[in-house]
Every structure is written in structure tokens, then in C-alpha cells.
Structure 1
Amino acid sequence: MSHITSAFTDAVHDSQFCFRRLLKAMSEPGTLVKLDRCHGFGTMMPATSQVLLAMADNSTPLWLSPSFLQDNAATKNIHFHTGASTNATPYNASFAAIALTDMPRIKLNELVFNVGNEEYPDRSTTLVIETDSVSSGQHFKLSGPGIKDECCIQLGELSSDVKNTLLAQGEAFPLGLDLIFVSGEQVVAIPRSTSVEAM
């Protein structure tokens, strides 16, 4: 039985749509955007699948958290639709996707994702982190480029390790990790240039 399912109905236009939405999310940190062009692959949330469909290709090394790696539907569809490899080490990964079920156990500081270097800060890893909500939980205040004054967001029930990583955003800029939080079809991005405070 094949695990391959449909992705974008219109591969070019849907991919461009998602890319533009992600660009808005990254350039306006804290802004919620909706990705609704396809269902999720396996246990992947729809937005997680669409981020990877829009951003990954056969030259993109991906790192997937254990639940995703063990999900044949997720891995086979990512391979089939993007051509991307899913066997990258954390440090070599351009994108890393963390499943909601894995988030409580993931130790980000032990995985050693790439934070870029002074010559190529843009080579850092982008983390796609699934959460249970982007409309409940602790409030966080964001400030920095793309934000007028400041904005307030909620990111659901985060593990202490993910929360610590979030609160460290902006401290090492221009180095650091770009974070994309997803819940269902909703996305909020917090790039490495953004400062985050707990409220």
C-alpha cells in the first residue's frame, strides 16, 4: 500500500502562495499567517508539510525529529514531493522539523543546530516547531526589525527547553536560529533578529 498522497493541487502557484505567506511571517515577526493549500503528510501538521513543500528541494538537507522519521507517510511524501534528504545531522540541516509529540523531549542545546557564522549568518538552521496552539499559553513580547514598537504572541504549551531557546532569540544576532512555530494550518515566525521577553 502506497503512503504517497497528494500535495499542492497547483504545484507552482500553491508553492508561490506558501512562500509569500512565509516571507510575510518572517519579515513581520509575530504575525499569524495561514497555510491552507494541502493536508499534512502522515502525522505532520498541514503547515509543517507546506513549509517543507515550499522551502525544500533536492539540495536541501532536512533533519526530522524521531516521530517524523518513524512516520513512513511523512518521510515518503517529503522525499517524493521535494526530493530532499531527511538524514541530515542537526548541524548540517537547512531545516529541522520537530513534531508536537517530540517537543517535550527535544534537547535543542544538545542537538547543536547550525547558528551560522560571521561570513555566512544566513546558513543557520531554520527550526519548524509544532505546538498545540498559537492562541493560548504564556504571553511573549517581541521587538526588533519588522515590528512596530512591540507585539504580543502566545505559542501554546512549550517545553522548558524550547522556551529557553525562544527567550534567547536575538542575543547573538546576526547569528542564531530562525524559528517557525506551527499549529494546524497557522504559522508564526520568530527570526534570529527578534528579541523575545516572557510576560
Structure 2
Amino acid sequence: MNTVTELDLAHMQPGFAEPVHEAQAAFRCVLDALSQPGRVRVMPAAITPPAGLSVARAAMLLALADYDTPVWLAPALRDGAAGHYLRFHCGCPLTAGLSDAHFVVLDGLAALPDLDTLRLGDPAYPDRSATLLIEVSELAEGGPITLRGPGIESTRSISVAGWTAQTTAFVQQNRAGFPLGVDIVFSCGDRIMGLPRTSIVEI
């Protein structure tokens, strides 16, 4: 297991300046995004993230991850500044197994794994599932992707960079397994958008 050394600490980016207040604000931002799918929200966090994590993703993990919530990072991030940052500030275990992870940190939609490799919850505890934190290069309200479902009065259209037919198939398969499945939070810099498992996606 990698440890945080004195050299790492010398180069460590700080976490929240006011941990309780800022963690609560970040948590509310995520809840708001997931309760209103397709709405873009700005993460209220004045932090400088480590290499490999955007402001939004770093803030979400600072607010949500702890010693009891394993996080999956790509190996290059897990062994680099991002991994050291999360171990130090969150105390969260970094797992190499997708099925063990409560939070799965992905760069782009091309990195989506097969749904059945992820933690999907179980019928008695469907909330014991993974949340995918996916960084994309563009994220906007309005666009070719139409959402329906809870939290949306009629329909809502969005645009997400890198969305393909494979992404649509993943989301539809995820929705078909409800109440089991994963929730997704897209991020782009300091902005986020929620796509919970309850959302119905049409192109």
C-alpha cells in the first residue's frame, strides 16, 4: 500500500479551508444535481485540486468519501497526486476492484466499464451501490439528449461531450435494473450534472 510521505505532504494541495461548511455545501450541490437531472450546477468550492481531478470532482470526494467508502481511480491517478490527496484528506481506501468501489472516478465516457462489473446494490439495500464521477470536456443544458423521469416535469435536453450509442445503451441497461444500478454525476471543471438511475434517456 502506498503511504503519504513527508515529500508528498510538502507538495499536497489543501482541502477545504472550512471543512464543515464547504463539505455541507458540496453535498447539497450533489443532492440538488441528482434530484433535478440534467440541470447544470456550479460546485461552490474554492479549492485547487491535484493533477487528475477537477475542482468539482475533488470537492465531491472531499464531501462524500471517507474511510468506509472505497474509491476507484485509474492506476495512473491512484499512484499519483490524486491518490495521495484522497488518502490524506478523506482517509478513503483506494481499490483496484470496480465491484468494491462506492465511487468510481472516470475520465470521459469512453472509459465506462461494463455495468455488471460495478457495485449495483442489492434488493434489500439498493442504495449500497456505486456513484460514477465522470469528467467530460463539455456539459450543457439543451442538446440532442432528452431526459424524462423523476425530477423532470416533462422532458429536459442536455449535451454531454463524448456521448455515443454505447453510452445510451449503458444508461438504458442501468435504468432497466431499477431499483438496482448506479448513479452518475458528470463534471466539467467546477460544474456538475446528475443522471440518476431513475432517468430515462432518449436520443
Report the TM-score, using the length of structure 2 for normalisation.
Answer: 0.87
Q: Deviations over 1:55-103 (max 9, x none)?
A: 1111111111234224x21011101110001125111111110124xx5
Query: Structure 1 residues 5 and 180 mapped into 2: Cα distance closer, same or farther (>3 Å)?
Result: same
| Mapping for residues 101-116 of structure 1, pairs under 5 Å | 103-104=109-110, 106=111, 108-109=113-114, 112-116=117-121
Greater gyration radius: 2
Question: 5+ residue gaps in structure 2?
Answer: 1-6
1:165 aligns to what SS in structure 2? helix
Contact 2:105/2:132 (8 A) holds in 1:
yes
Query: Structure 1 residues 41 and 160 mapped into 2: Cα distance closer, same or farther (>3 Å)?
Result: farther
| Mapping for residues 31-50 of structure 1, pairs under 5 Å | 31-37=39-45, 38-50=47-59
1:77 aligned residue (85, 88, 112):
85
Q: Does 1:166 align with 2:171?
A: yes
More divergent stretch after superposition (38-47 vs 109-118): 109-118
Q: Does 1:183 align with 2:192?
A: no
Query: Structure 1 residues 86 and 143 mapped into 2: Cα distance closer, same or farther (>3 Å)?
Result: same
Contact 1:63/1:95 (8 A) holds in 2:
yes
Contact 1:26/1:189 (8 A) holds in 2:
yes
Q: Deviations over 1:133-153 (max 9, x none)?
A: 103996211111111111011
Aligned to 1:120: 125
Question: 5+ residue gaps in structure 1?
Answer: none
Distance 2:100 2:123 in 1: 17
Report the TM-score, using the length of structure 1 for normalisation.
Answer: 0.89
Q: Percent identity?
A: 30
2:139 aligns to what SS in structure 1? coil
More divergent stretch after superposition (31-40 vs 163-172): 163-172
Higher strand share: 2
Contact 2:171/2:201 (8 A) holds in 1:
yes
Aligned to 1:29: 37
Cα RMSD between the aligned structures? 2.0
Following TM superposition, by how much is the alpha carbon of 1:110 offset from its aligned partner in structure 2, in angstroms? 7.2
Higher helix share: 2
Aligned to 2:3: none
1:123 aligns to what SS in structure 2? strand
